[in-house]
């Protein structure tokens, strides 16, 4: 058995008890678990985590703190997220003892259709520029979440972000490197360069960056609410910019934008109920992979062993083949979501896995989905309300386009539509595109257990599965479950119907994956590459059932922090 850590003797009981009665068994664990009694906030940037914690300490709840943290991180990590992007939430309400799902993703412009791209001779929507725009759903998502569950006034929630935008904040390391990589693209648009390239270049790590234009936009939202963005000055400026720069937005696109409360969907994995949101996102891919893997003795195989790594990659290929065909906006046609996440369907599909050989007839993927500049954050408050929130521009700085003096870039989610006539995810007016960003949640015996997510394009469902297996099968604590070396498969068909390879794709592994696993995978026909980066960004909070405390974790691959009180 190959393993990169020493497991608990009894993984199930270790998880149930919290697994923290002795030092972390993974010698590669990056930091201690953050343990607190009253509340925890975990984000990919420390200033955002602290802003959320301040809201909790001032009497706010998980919804309030998540909005405050998201507003700050939209400023301090602008390539990954912001009010030009979309948002999804899974929320556990302690009073009702129920989970709620929020789909705050935007729709394509009414004036944009497939004929526009046919006339240009394009088979795929460009990933940069105004043609990739869909209506940003973030601000409406904040408003809908706040209306139902929050109670702190808007000015209190947005004030930390406004202060940082006006007075400046120090650029952190990983964010700074991502900013630097986007310089050339941002220079193509004068307003983007003016906003994000002071002095003509990306701000250096450790330097102070200010965004007074975003401060002004946040003040309008604080004073006038979501209508400032969708019916007022902000919408008017975006539409005017669109009309002057080859975009397709009009005021109707913003005035008719709505977010939707949706029912989360789940599967049971070894006694834990794992919750995701239904399409247009890709969350159910994680449930499909778990269903495919559950009958196997994962623990007996060993962590990141050859047998496990092979099964994981093959299960992922099967789930993503379904993702390519069936994940789309359910408002435009009935989707077989319940069937896809059922145990009988998994049993049927599992028969296609060859334990001796890698499948090579699974279509390879669209390189678009290798990108994933996204933030995930999680909050649990003193009453045990839980907010699992993910928010994104899609590409780094989205479409690369900042509209005028508003201080934020518009997303490029529209690039994820297919231009094929018979595809469920085909571009149509006022339609939501397929989405990669997915929040997650897990319950045990009807009680909240884990509020978590893993950002990063098509790594997200793969990351969800690996984190859960690390905790449930291998008894890892909440921090080491995210620290442990990951595997990522590239090369599954995507919902954009891009031409496909036929070589089974490429398996990326981190340095902690044993060489014996790499050798064994290659012997089975996998193409394997050791790589850095592109393995996601994880945040999580576990509610310890034995002691009632909160155990927070954050991603060592990002600049993040988990903080509590």
| CB-side neighbour CA atoms (13 Å) of 343 | 6
| Rg for the chain, CA atoms, rounded | 22
Among the listed residues 75, 66, 130, the one whose alpha carbon sits nearest the alpha carbon of residue 104: 66
Catalytic residue among 195, 217, 267, 374, which?
Answer: 374
- Burial label for 245, CB within 10 Å (0-12, 13-18, 19+), is middle
CA distance 35 to 51: 18
Give 215-257 as a DSSP string. HHHHHHHHHHTTHHHHTSHHHHHHHHHHHHTT----HHHHHT-
CA distance 266 to 165: 39
Can you give 114-179 as a three-state secondary structure string? HHHHHHCCCCCCCCCCHHHCCCCCHHHHHHHHHHHHCCCCHHHHHHHHHHHHHHCEECCHHHHHHH
Among the listed residues 207, 205, 178, 231, the one whose alpha carbon sits nearest the alpha carbon of residue 409: 178
Active site residue 374: yes
> Residue 452 in contact with residue 286, Cβ under 8 Å?
no
DSSP-derived secondary structure letter, 330: G
- 184 C-beta neighbours (distance < 10 Å), count: 8
Task: Give the H/E segment covering residue 298.
Answer: helix 298-301
Please give the positions annotated as active site: 374
């Amino acid at each position: 058995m190959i393993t990169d850590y020493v497991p608990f003797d009894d993984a199930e009981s270790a998880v149930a008890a919290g697994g923290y009665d002795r030092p972390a068994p993974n010698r590669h664990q990056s930091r201690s678990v953050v343990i607190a009694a009253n509340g925890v906030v975990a984000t990919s940037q420390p200033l955002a985590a602290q802003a959320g914690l301040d809201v909790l300490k001032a009497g706010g709840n998980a919804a309030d703190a998540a909005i405050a943290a998201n507003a700050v991180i939209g400023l301090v990590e602008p390539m990954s997220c912001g009010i030009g992007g979309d948002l999804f939430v899974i929320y556990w309400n302690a009073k009702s003892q129920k989970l709620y799902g929020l789909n705050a993703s935007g729709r394509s412009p009414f004036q944009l259709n497939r004929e526009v791209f046919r006339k240009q001779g394009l088979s795929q929507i460009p990933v940069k520029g105004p043609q990739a725009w869909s209506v940003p759903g973030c601000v409406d998502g904040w408003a809908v979440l706040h209306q139902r569950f929050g109670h702190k006034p808007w000015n209190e929630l947005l004030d930390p972000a406004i202060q940082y935008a006006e007075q400046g904040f120090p650029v952190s390391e990983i964010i700074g490197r991502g900013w630097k990589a986007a310089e050339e693209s941002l220079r193509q648009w004068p307003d983007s360069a003016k906003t994000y390239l002071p002095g003509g270049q990306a701000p250096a790590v450790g330097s102070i960056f200010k965004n007074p234009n975003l401060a002004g936009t946040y003040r309008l939202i604080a004073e006038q609410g979501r209508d400032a963005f969708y019916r007022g000055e902000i919408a008017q400026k975006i539409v005017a910019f669109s009309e002057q720069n080859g975009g397709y937005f009009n005021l109707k696109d913003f005035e008719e934008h709505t977010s939707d409360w949706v029912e989360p969907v789940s599967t049971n994995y070894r006694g834990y109920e794992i919750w995701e949101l239904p399409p247009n996102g890709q969350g159910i891919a994680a449930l499909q992979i778990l269903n495919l893997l559950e009958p196997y003795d994962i623990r007996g195989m060993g962590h990141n062993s050859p047998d496990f790594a092979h099964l994981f990659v093959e299960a992922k290929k099967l789930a993503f083949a379904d993702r390519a065909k069936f994940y789309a906006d359910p408002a435009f046609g009935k989707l077989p979501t319940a069937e896809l996440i059922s145990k009988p369907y998994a049993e049927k599909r599992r028969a296609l896995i060859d334990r001796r050989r890698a499948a090579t007839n699974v279509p390879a993927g669209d390189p678009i989905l290798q990108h994933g500049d996204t933030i995930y954050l999680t909050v649990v408050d003193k009453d045990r309300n839980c907010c699992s929130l993910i928010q994104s521009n899609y590409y780094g700085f989205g479409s690369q386009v900042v509209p005028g003096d508003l201080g934020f870039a518009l997303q490029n989610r529209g690039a994820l539509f297919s231009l094929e006539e018979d595809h469920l995810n085909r571009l149509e007016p006022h339609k939501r595109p397929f989405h990669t960003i997915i929040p997650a949640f897990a319950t045990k015996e009807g009680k909240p257990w884990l509020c978590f997510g893993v950002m990063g394009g098509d790594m997200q469902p793969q990351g969800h599965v690996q984190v859960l297996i690390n905790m449930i099968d291998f008894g890892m604590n909440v921090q080491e479950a995210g620290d442990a070396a990951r595997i990522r498969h590239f090369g599954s068909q995507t919902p954009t119907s891009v031409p496909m390879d036929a070589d089974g794709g490429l398996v990326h592994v981190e340095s902690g994956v044993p060489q014996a696993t790499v050798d064994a995978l290659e012997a089975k026909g996998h193409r394997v590459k050791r790589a850095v980066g592109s393995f996601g960004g994880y945040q999580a909070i576990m509610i310890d059932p034995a002691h009632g405390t909160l155990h927070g974790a954050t991603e060592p691959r990002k600049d993040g922090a988990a903080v509590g009180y």
